[in-house]
Amino acid sequence: MNLLKLLDSMCPDTTNAEEKDRFYSRREAFRQFGDMSKKMALAAVPVSLLSALPNVAKADTDSLIGVLNYALTLEHLEYNYYQMGLDSGVIDTAERPIFQKIRDHELAHVNFLTEVISNVLMGTPVAEPSFDFTAGGNFMPFDDYPTFLALAQAFEDTGVRAYKGQAGNVMESDVVLTAALSIHSVEARHASMVRRLRTKKGQDMTKGWITGNDYGTLPAAAAGIYAGEENVSHAGVNVVNLTGIDQDAVSEGWDEPLTMEQTLGIASLFLSS
Amino acid sequence: MKKELFKPEGLIQHTDRRAFLKMGTLSVAGAGLLLMGCKDDEDVMPPVSGGVSLGSGDVGILNYAYALEQLEAAFYAQVMMGSYFANASAEEKTIMGDLEKHERAHREFFKAALGANAIADLEVDFSSIDFSSRNSVLGAAKTFEDLGVAAYNGAGQFLESGDLLLIAGKIVSVEARHAAAIRDLINPNSADFAGDDIIDANGLERTLNFQEVLTAASTYVKTEIDFSQLPG
């Protein structure tokens, strides 16, 4: 994944043959630059080169920026949550490597999305919001480890659903789609790990995958995070009827999306006013 | 442009919406220029005789997923008949039992969705796996699950149908959940569930292309798989 690949995903915003030629030749120049410096870090791409990016269809770009800013908001939330958890000392020593790894990924996602929005799509990344992880004094995640783990599960499962819900909105850019998918599966790995950890510690009976719309021992407010996960019909095929496999197992086999509105409704509980 | 309704039993054999994107001025771009976002039509190549041909377009990609799900389902079915499973812990029995059901459900779903376009059953070869050995079974499970995630992540960009992309997205995150659980069984409470071997410094999981995935899978599949008509 790199900026040069992103260029390849862009189409010229013109029907004029001469302008198309210019688009492709400029893109090829970028490609050759990339070939000379394959090991160049993402952040090291000179701004002067980036500012000369070929024109792309503005509507497409605005739409991509909107989706990526939405993703960036969620990544800010997750990164802040894990960093504060690690700083607070609430996490059992033996399990810190798990949350250090998750924190590292969320920070990498923040940096990656910020870079793509600002230096590739020439947009403005959203500012980091202020968070209230007590949700108005209801939770004490940095004083109580089970609460910390419960909210971590809620954030990761929400993240998986949120990215999934946007796949269709970025599919016009192959590279943005592939990047989003590559973040999406990382969030799913996090979710599986946190879910199973809670069960190993006797705090829940949840598995790495989501059974029906069960939110286990999470607070009732988490019901919205799992609403719809009980679906067993895909593309008009009821997979329980098709296979005779039990409803629980079939529901586990497919994760479901959330819309931007649903996700922001969940996330807004943790934004400070 | 990619807003086609998905018809379970009647997937269109080949769609040519890419013709919309055909450009008249590609020659100026020069040889070697890869047009990922503005694709020209892929070359149409005749299927080889023997084995199975995945086909082209979205059907081809569904068959690609179907092939991988066949492999995974066959693997877990065999795991559950072996002595590792018979002697496994309650937790591991639950996990293996779940994975068998999930993968079988995925396989049967794709078969139904593809209808007459579905490839034949693949002949698998698990002779390199020792089903009495925990290490061997978990190692193979890790290979299959990680491979599945990388395959879906790599193929998503080639799907024309947004509905199919969403379905692939619904499945790939479950494969990632599996992969993380298997990795945690192998090395509990470590960072391996999302290790640096598969996730890069940008926090992005690896993707693999059709050839990489099918080459890795070929160790376990006897049937020759022709993927030459897949897009990309």
What CATH number is attached to the domain comprising A158?
1.20.1260.10
Count how many Cα atoms sit within 13 Å of the Cα of residue A242 in the half-sphere of its side chain.
Answer: 22
CA distance B85 to chain A (A): 19
Check: complex ipTM more than 0.90: no
- Looking at the structure of chain A, the number of domains it has is 2
> B197 by DSSP, 3-state: which?
coil
Residues 80-109 of B with CB under 8 A from A: 94-95, 98, 101-102, 104-106, 108-109
Asked if the structure places residue A165 within a domain, the reply is yes
Distances, alpha carbon B111 to alpha carbons B14, B104, B125, in Å: 18, 11, 21
The Cα A153–Cα B177 span in angstroms is: 13
For an interface test with A, the pick among B12, B202, B206, B209 (most A C-beta atoms closer than 10 Å) comes out as B202
Nearest CA in chain B to A232: B105
- Residue A29's domain spans which residues? 1-56
Q: A30 and A114: one domain?
A: no
**pLDDT score at A102:** 98
Which residue, among A80, A68, A180, A50, has the nearest Cα to A124 in the 3D structure?
Answer: A68
Q: A101 and A141: one domain?
A: yes
Residues 158-187 of B with CB under 8 A from A: 159, 162-167, 169-181, 184
Residues 32-91 of B with CB under 8 A from A: 33-38
The domain boundary residue, chosen from A56, A80, A98: A56
Q: A124 and A183: one domain?
A: yes
**pLDDT score at A20:** 59
Q: A95 and A9: one domain?
A: no
In chain B, domain spans = 17-226
Q: A132 and A203: one domain?
A: yes
The domain boundary residue, chosen from A27, A56, A85: A56
Q: Which candidate from A163, A182, A207 shows the least CB-CB separation from B207?
A: A182
Contact B178 A208 (CB under 8 A): yes
Asked whether the beta carbons of A80 and A131 are under 8 A apart, the reply is yes
**pLDDT score at B33:** 31
Sequence-distant (≥ 6) Cβ neighbours of residue B189 within 8 angstroms: A94, A95, A97, A98, A197
The Cα B180–Cα B188 span in angstroms is: 10
Q: A163 and A49: one domain?
A: no
Q: Which candidate from B21, B23, B177 shows the least CB-CB separation from A208?
A: B177
Which stretches of chain B score pLDDT less than 50?
Answer: 1-49
Q: A182 and A75: one domain?
A: yes
Q: A71 and A21: one domain?
A: no
Asked if the structure places residue A204 within a domain, the reply is yes
Q: Which pLDDT tens digit goes with each residue over B165-184?
A: 999 999 999 999 999 999 99
CATH topology of domain B17-226: Ferritin (1.20.1260)
Q: A192 and A143: one domain?
A: yes
Nearest CA in chain B to A42: B202
Q: Which pLDDT tens digit goes with each residue over A26-77?
A: 445 444 443 333 333 343 443 433 444 444 566 689 999 999 999 999 999 9
Q: Which pLDDT tens digit goes with each residue over A153-190?
A: 999 999 999 999 999 999 999 989 999 999 999 999 99
The Cα A132–Cα A51 span in angstroms is: 37
